[in-house]
Structure 1
């Protein structure tokens, strides 16, 4: 199989121009829906927000066509060891971030607050994964298709935009320092989610991981507090390096399997 045929997006005929238009339209609608939800924060608005996101993801499938990275997932070979280490890193991140404690707090909260947190976290998981790990990833895969390490470039570009997207929280009243940290760890998280997308060749696990990261009592508010930058750099900087290396290794393996 030739290198320019191993990516699933190569089987679609959607042009770069229409993929850009679709991505911008999706971004605007998703952002407006999120703004309405943050202003109201009623359970019915949170349910409506989730419904809008689901319709949005289904409707825009006309432009992204597929959520797969590869036409056929290549055998990992020795890269499987890297994938195992990577998965251990993700589990460690959950532990360091106190995710299990956050989940417990959500399910111990009042019924309306619990379902509101679930709706908002699930909407973020679906909405942002379809936008960044599918629509924009496919767009950059098209743009960088002539590059030897197309997966690295597509993942980097979509993850940087994923980080910058969180600047929108400033419009919702979030503190500047906390927002800048969100930009940094969202970019790092984007690389983690990108590799999950690559080695599973599907988007559903990315949605679940994203949902579980966001499932916390204050997900519907802008009450996030800034953490020490040293700790942030240590945790997410390490995650970024490991994820980038994993993506590079898988891209190199794919080039070898598909005779780049």
Structure 2
């Protein structure tokens, strides 16, 4: 669980490099979204015991026309934060539950 959280945070923070090409607000929104996405991808990895679903979801997310054309500007940052918080909480619960079940099996 802690590895998933740490990797998700690093995945989100990696997107700070976009500060060179976009505003601070847009970059913060992107960091928050990618943190939640990292947790979701961690959940998929544990659930499927493979990387294929993670790659498919990441591909679909990256090439979504909405994502390609959306700027998480000032007006949308609150909505992005409110949308990601429940996802982050749900993914942490899922990762914790799967991790607990896995440890019981071993």
TM-score scaled by length of structure 1:
0.38
Residues 39 and 92 in structure 2, CA contact (< 8 A), matched pair in contact too: yes
Match of 1:247 among 66, 80, 95: 95
> Please, what is the CA RMSD of the aligned residues?
1.7
Distance in 2 (CA, whole Å) between partners of 1:177 and 1:188 is 17
**Counterpart of 2:6?**
157
Q: How does 1:104-143 map to 2 (within 5 A)?
A: none
For residues 225 and 157 of structure 1, the distance between their equivalents in structure 2, rounded to whole angstroms, comes to 24
Residue 183 of structure 1: how far off its partner (Å): 0.5
Q: Which residue of 2 aligns with 1:170?
A: 19
User: Distance in 1 between the 2:104 and 2:61 partners?
Assistant: 34
Q: Which digits, 9 at most, give the CA deviation of each residue in 1:36-59, with x for residues without a partner?
A: xxxxxxxxxxxxxxxxxxxxxxxx
- 2:4, 2:39 within 8 Å by CA — same for their partners in 1? yes
Pick from 50, 62, 71: which aligns with 1:224? Answer: 71
Q: Give the number of aligned pairs.
A: 104
- SS at structure 1 position matched to 2:71: coil
Which structure has the larger Rg? 1
User: How far is the alpha carbon of 1:234 from its aligned partner?
Assistant: 2.1
The gaps in structure 1 that reach 5 residues or longer are 1-151
**What 5-or-longer segments of structure 2 have no aligned partner?**
none
Of 55, 70, 76, which aligns to 1:207?
55
SS of the residue corresponding to residue 228 of structure 1 reads helix
Greater than 4 Å deviation, 4+ residue runs? none
The residue matched to 2:40 in structure 1 has which SS? helix
Q: Say which structure is richer in helix.
A: 2
In the TM superposition, residue 224 of structure 1 has moved relative to its aligned partner by 2.2
